């Protein structure tokens, strides 16, 4: 089996990929920016085997990307919340989303600056305010020209404007 490290590579990119380079990991982190915190919500939105999701979440906790805490609403369950180290992945994630939109297919969501409602440019900057907002100052809304094929409760919750990092109400 292939390992997930790049011991021979003396490069910060290799170190970053050791943390976020596994299949599904960046999509889990994307969902966390969208406000997903519960195992069951990651599971329903990503359609990945529970064992794989468990392994990825545990690895992200170990790597300091997520804090794992008891879920106050469900005894015995946990929620996963991005740490400062995890939130610092936003520019990289936004950069990849931008690349995908430019070269593959438009993202189903657009990102806007909370203070003024202006859509962020490809660099993640609000040109109206001439600043690059933190994730907590960004909200998503569906792209008007593009519908999503997904019907799960996370996708349904993201059909309304939603501030990044705020827990997503999935019922």
Q: Round to whole Å and give the CA distance between 86 and 160.
A: 25
Q: Closer to Zn ion at the Cβ: 21 or 161?
A: 161
| Smallest distance from Zn ion to CB 111, Å | 11
Q: Closer to Zn ion at the Cβ: 93 or 120?
A: 120
Asked whether 85 and 110 are in contact (CB, 8 A), the reply is no
| Smallest distance from Zn ion to CB 127, Å | 8
Q: Closer to Zn ion at the Cβ: 19 or 110?
A: 110
Q: Round to whole Å and give the CA distance between 94 and 19.
A: 17
Q: Closer to Zn ion at the Cβ: 96 or 129?
A: 129
Contacts of 155 (CB under 8 A, 6+ apart): 45, 148
| Smallest distance from Zn ion to CB 114, Å | 8
Token duo for residue 88: 């610092």
Q: Which residues bind Zn ion (CB under 5 A)?
A: 113, 115-116, 118, 126, 128-129
| Smallest distance from Zn ion to CB 136, Å | 14
Token duo for residue 157: 């919750």
């Amino acid at each position: 089996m292939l390992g997930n490290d790049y011991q021979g590579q003396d490069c910060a990119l290799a170190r970053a990929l050791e943390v976020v380079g596994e299949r599904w990991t960046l999509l889990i982190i994307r969902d966390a920016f969208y406000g997903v915190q519960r195992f069951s919500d990651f599971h329903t939105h990503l359609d990945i085997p529970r064992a794989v999701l468990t392994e990825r979440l545990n690895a992200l906790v170990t790597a300091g990307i997520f804090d794992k805490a008891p879920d106050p609403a469900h005894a015995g369950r946990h929620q996963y919340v991005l740490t400062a180290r995890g939130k610092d992945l936003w520019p990289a994630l936004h950069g990849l989303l931008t690349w995908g939109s430019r070269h593959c297919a438009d993202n189903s969501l657009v990102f806007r600056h909370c203070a003024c409602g202006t859509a962020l440019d490809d660099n993640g900057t609000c040109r109206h305010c001439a600043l690059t907002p933190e994730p907590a100052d960004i909200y998503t809304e569906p792209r008007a020209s593009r519908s999503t094929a997904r019907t799960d409760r996370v996708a349904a919750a993201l059909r309304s404007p939603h501030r990044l990092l705020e827990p997503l109400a999935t019922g």
